[in-house]
């Protein structure tokens, strides 16, 4: 028998037990519809004496009138800050600060939200304020002026971060500035918004049958919290909501290069391609393909552009789903003197993904990364029940979340290749670059016909 020395034993890799595949089934919670059409998701959590509520209101920035872009944002931002019929703004702020509670409202391109956090002992008081904010905002004139000034200042400063500017303007060029997906607020459109506009916007969209609530925390029984919700919202009458017609997306099918010349230290590169509509089952192989391409530090973009060639610190890819066609994006910040090398490598990696089947080990590694991170996506019951409510809001089937891991795990290398081959078409991509062209190592015209834009 051969005896191994202590040094040899310590040099050998440890023998670890084989781990089973992740089998995470998120709890379902409960779903109730009130008589006025308001949908309520409930999940009890007595870990801490706290209650969280989020309301999803079916509207978004893309519903603004074209001559008043910013109306939805102004309205959502003033639900609390503009006061209510029952509470003055200062009274709301003072009460919430004293109780260490929060009530906030916001809006995105496709959703408006109103969030509330309260200690269990103060729930009745804070819920009264929250309900008033949702149902009866008053939009006091002095607060409207403050909000308008704040919005105008954000417009004036919107180009302070050239990386964010590059992504925003690339998406705007991709969809066209006339399409709601490509809109941005302007001084003229914000100044055109009146208090009466905000009241009419609220009256149209903020109706109980246009809202989904997600409630989690130490609220006692379902009957107890539902009684509190019905006492505040039960008399709020349902009604018809009028939505604008969003025009179909029209995306050019040839390579386009857009450029803003700006004397900055880095060059920022965005590559955009036509993506998928929401609810398209191709999202599962596309999710795996994106994870392999630019989803993390071990992805192809990061490995080649950041680690091996040292051309960038930040490089990644992702895709966004829309009711109409979304987009697939690659992003990189690099030195202007080497911008062409980074851009060429980005385009190359998209092409390789579309042309060559990836090794099974790489696909498995990407799927494992997605599944393992999925488990940690819901650190609290509130995040989980909010996620379930959001999926209903966006029209996903009720079992979408429950089957997500299984659907990702089923993806195989052939499906990844087929999806990449269908969607990754860098020859038809929109390329957007912001940087100092005097330092560029190659002219942008080598990548396609260039349209130079003025920063505004």
Q: Which DSSP string do the residues of 359-416 spell out, in sequence order?
A: PHHHHHHHHHHHHHHHHTT-SSHHHHHHHHHHHHHTT--TTHHHHHHHHHHT--HHHH
Confidence of residue 256 (pLDDT cuts 50, 70, 90): very high
Average pLDDT of 409-419?
98
Predicted pLDDT of residue 28: 86
Confidence of residue 21 (pLDDT cuts 50, 70, 90): low
CA-based nearest residue to 214, from 447, 429, 56: 56
Which alpha helices (H) appear in 84-206, and where do they start and end? 89-98, 123-135, 141-156, 162-175, 187-191, 195-205
CA-based nearest residue to 271, from 171, 374, 136: 171
Domain boundaries, the chain: 30-233, 256-452
8 A C-beta contact, residue 76 and residue 144: no
Strands 211-217 and 39-44: parallel
Predicted pLDDT of residue 376: 85
| Same fold yes or no, 30-233 and 256-452 | yes
Average pLDDT of 330-341?
97
Distance CA 422, CA 354 (A): 7
The predicted-structure confidence for 133-189, as pLDDT tens digits, reads as follows: 999 999 999 999 999 999 999 999 999 999 999 999 999 999 999 999 999 999 999
Least confident span in 232-241, 353-362, 373-382? 373-382
Residue 23 reports pLDDT greater than 70: no
Q: The tokens of 120 are what?
A: 């269990």
Neighbours of 292 (CB within 10 A): 25
Q: Specify the CATH number for 256-452; select among 3.30.460.80, 3.40.50.2000, 3.30.830.10, 2.40.40.20.
A: 3.30.830.10
Predicted pLDDT of residue 375: 80
Predicted pLDDT of residue 252: 82
Q: The tokens of 118 are what?
A: 């309260």
Confidence of residue 379 (pLDDT cuts 50, 70, 90): confident
Least confident span in 66-75, 142-151, 233-242, 371-380? 371-380
Confidence of residue 106 (pLDDT cuts 50, 70, 90): very high
The predicted-structure confidence for 218-237, as pLDDT tens digits, reads as follows: 999 999 999 999 999 999 99
Average pLDDT of 87-101?
97
Give, for 300, the enclosing helix (H) or strand (E): helix 300-301
Confidence of residue 1 (pLDDT cuts 50, 70, 90): very low
Share of the chain above pLDDT 90, in %: 91
Confidence of residue 114 (pLDDT cuts 50, 70, 90): very high
Classify domain 30-233 by CATH architecture: 2-Layer Sandwich (3.30)
In angstroms, the Cα distances linking 52 to 48, 265, 362 are 11, 43, 40
Q: How is 183-244 classified by DSSP, letter by letter?
A: ----HHHHHT--HHHHHHHHHHH--GGGEEEEEEES--SHHHHHHHHHHHHTTS-------P
Average pLDDT of 21-29?
72
| 358: three-class secondary structure by DSSP | coil
Better-predicted residue by pLDDT, 436 or 13: 436
- Strands (E) in 254-323, as ranges, are 256-261, 267-274, 312-320
| 322: three-class secondary structure by DSSP | strand
Model's pTM, two decimal places? 0.91
Predicted pLDDT of residue 7: 53
Confidence of residue 253 (pLDDT cuts 50, 70, 90): confident
Q: The tokens of 100 are what?
A: 């260490």
Better-predicted residue by pLDDT, 377 or 196: 196
At residue 269, φ and ψ (nearest 5 deg) are -120, 130
The predicted-structure confidence for 276-296, as pLDDT tens digits, reads as follows: 999 999 999 999 999 999 998
Residue 302 reports pLDDT greater than 90: yes
Strands 112-119 and 102-107: antiparallel
Predicted pLDDT of residue 11: 55
Confidence of residue 420 (pLDDT cuts 50, 70, 90): very high
Predicted pLDDT of residue 251: 86
In angstroms, the Cα distances linking 426 to 216, 294, 306 are 44, 15, 20
Question: Token pair 């017609």 is at which residue?
Answer: 245
Share of the chain above pLDDT 70, in %: 95
Better-predicted residue by pLDDT, 3 or 130: 130
Predicted pLDDT of residue 25: 74
Residue 327 reports pLDDT greater than 60: yes
Residues recorded for the chain: 456
């Amino acid at each position: 028998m051969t005896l191994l020395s202590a040094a040899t034993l310590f040099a050998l890799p440890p023998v670890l037990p084989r781990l089973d595949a992740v089998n995470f089934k998120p709890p379902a919670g409960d779903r109730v519809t009130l008589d006025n059409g308001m949908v309520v998701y409930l999940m009890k959590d007595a870990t801490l004496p706290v209650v969280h509520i989020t309301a999803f209101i079916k509207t978004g920035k893309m519903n603004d009138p074209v001559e008043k872009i910013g109306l939805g944002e102004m309205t959502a931002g003033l639900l609390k800050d503009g006061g209510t019929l029952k509470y003055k703004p200062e009274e709301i702020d003072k009460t919430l600060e004293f109780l260490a509670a929060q009530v906030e409202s916001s809006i995105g391109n496709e959703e408006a939200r109103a969030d509330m956090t309260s200690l269990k002992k103060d729930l009745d008081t804070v819920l009264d304020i929250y309900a008033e904010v949702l149902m009866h905002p008053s939009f006091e004139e002095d607060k409207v002026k403050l909000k308008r000034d704040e919005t105008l200042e954000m417009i004036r400063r919107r180009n302070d971060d050239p990386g964010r500017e590059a992504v925003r303007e690339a998406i705007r060029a991709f969809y066209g500035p006339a399409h709601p997906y490509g809109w941005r607020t302007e001084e003229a459109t914000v100044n055109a918004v009146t208090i009466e506009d905000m009241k009419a916007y609220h009256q149209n969209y903020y109706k109980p049958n246009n809202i989904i609530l997600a409630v989690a925390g130490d609220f006692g029984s379902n009957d107890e919290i539902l009684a509190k919700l019905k006492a505040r919202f039960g008399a709020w009458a349902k009604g018809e909501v009028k939505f604008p017609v969003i025009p179909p997306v029209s995306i050019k099918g040839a390579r386009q290069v857009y450029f803003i010349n700006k004397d900055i230290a880095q060059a920022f590169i965005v590559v955009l391609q036509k993506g998928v509509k929401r609810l398209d089952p191709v999202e599962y192989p596309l999710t795996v393909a994106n994870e392999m391409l630019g989803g993390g530090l071990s992805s192809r973009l990061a490995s080649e552009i950041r680690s091996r060639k040292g051309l960038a610190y930040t490089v990644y890819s992702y895709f966004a789903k829309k009711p109409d066609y979304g987009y697939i994006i690659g992003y990189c910040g690099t030195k202007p003197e080497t911008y062409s090398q980074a851009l060429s490598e980005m385009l190359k990696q998209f092409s390789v993904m579309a042309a060559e089947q990836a090794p099974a080990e790489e696909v498995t590694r990407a799927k494992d990364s997605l599944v393992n991170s999925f488990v940690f996506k819901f650190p609290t019951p509130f995040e989980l029940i909010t996620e379930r409510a959001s999926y209903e809001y966006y029209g996903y089937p009720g079992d979408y979340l429950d089957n997500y891991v299984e659907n990702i795990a089923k993806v195989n290398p052939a499906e990844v290749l087929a999806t990449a081959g269908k969607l990754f078409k860098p020859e038809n991509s929109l390329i957007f670059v912001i940087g100092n062209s005097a330092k560029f190592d190659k002219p942008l015209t080598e990548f396609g016909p260039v349209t130079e834009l003025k920063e505004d």
